[in-house]
A = this chain, B = another copy of it.
Amino acid sequence: MAGIALSGVSKHFGAVEVIRDVSLDIQPGELVVFLGPSGSGKTTLLRMIAGLESIDEGTLTIDGVRSENLAPGRRNVAMVFQNYALYPHMTVAENMAFGLRNIRVAPDVIGQRIAEAARILEIEALLQRRPSQLSGGQRQRVAIGRAIVKEPKAFLFDEPLSNLDAALRARTRVELAELHQRLKSTMIYVTHDQVEAMTLADRIVILNNCRIEQMGSPVDVYARPASRFVATFVGSPAMNILPVTVSGSGDRLNARLTDGSLVELPGAPVNMDWRELGVRPESLTVVAEGNETSATATVVERLGERTLVYARLADGTQVTAQDRGLSSVKAGDAVRLKFDTAALHLFAADGSAWHAR
């Protein structure tokens, strides 16, 4: 259990800047997820913490120890690689023992730790197998086991689930969350899958374009995205972003959509150059009747517990709306859409955002 602090960290590969002036404080026992689109520098940042990439500028402190110049093995962090990087020629037990033998841990201690890790991960039966004899999910666990036995100050995960199939991914995600609750150790988890980030993180660090775009709890990030980028990147299906012209004053602000319909904006600040209105599909619902925005459904996806309705407004703007349960809306139907005024977002030209709640 150790805190990790990055301060003013930068990195470039040749002329290309990959990480620009990133500062970040990770509390002991916290599970922090680095989330961001491909190429945003998540892996690089993680590898810099692990010591697999050098840090060009700034400082890295692990458990209070300045570490940017320590060799990877000396930082006492464990990494779980995307493809696990299990040593294919060693058994599961040997895989786990390798790191400990290198630092001359006594054989009986090694045995104990392996047994303990195997128990936690329920891989006792696999200890004498080789990685090639394991399923994807089992390999995943062994990779975690290899990390656990080192009793590291922090666990680093680089998209550990991306090689699993959808069902296994969902299951392993839950297992990982449980593991974190049990071990209570510091973990950094890299992913570009926002569902994983939302479900696992204590705190999400959203990276974009070499920088941290937002840092906060999943609820924060979802409900109060700091920028238009975060708003569209988090949530699936993505938030609808509609160009609007905002008018009115005081408490009576209105947004006019491009099709001419009006949306009320109770409590939004005036005097900002609001350009776009953001609304998540679940806050844009199909209603039977009323004086709402009207649209034509183009594709209807019944997901069981809810139905996504892809619709076109009168002026052709595409929106994604939601209907409850198994909707009876069919492609081609005219539908009325209701904006949940308690869950609207406004984005200004300068990048600042306002949230209804």
Contacts and interface: CB of A to CB of B under 8 A. Distances in A.
A301 B199 contact: yes
A282 B322 CA distance: 15
Interface stretch (A60-68, A79-87, A216-224, A265-273): A216-224
A222 B302 contact: yes
Interface string A171-193: 00110011001000000000001
Contacts of A306: 282
B181 A193 contact: no
Please tell me how many copies of the chain the complex holds: 2
A234 to B, nearest CB: 7
Contact of A235 (B173, B236, B304): B304
B302 A218 contact: yes
Contacts of A148: none
A219 B280 contact: no
B181 A234 contact: no
A73 interface: no
A199 B281 contact: no
Interface string A318-357: 0000100110000100000000000000000000000000
Interface string A82-110: 00000000000000000000000000000
A280 B306 CA distance: 12
A195 B303 contact: yes
Contacts of A193: 166
Interface residues of A, number: 36
Contacts of A299: 174, 177-178, 199
B170 A326 contact: no
Given A193-B166, A326-B219, A326-B223, A303 B174 contact: no
Interface of A: 166, 170, 173-174, 177-178, 181, 193, 195, 198-199, 218-219, 222-223, 234-237, 280-282, 298-299, 301-306, 308, 310, 322, 325-326, 331
Given A170-B237, A177-B299, A218-B326, 19 more contacts: A170-B236, A173-B301, A174-B299, A174-B310, A177-B331, A178-B298, A178-B299, A181-B331, A195-B301, A199-B308, A218-B302, A219-B326, A222-B326, A223-B326, A234-B304, A235-B304, A282-B304, A282-B305, A282-B325
Across chains A and B, which 7 residue pairs bring their CB atoms closest together, nearest first?
A: A282-B305, A199-B301, A219-B326, A177-B299, A235-B304, A222-B304, A174-B299
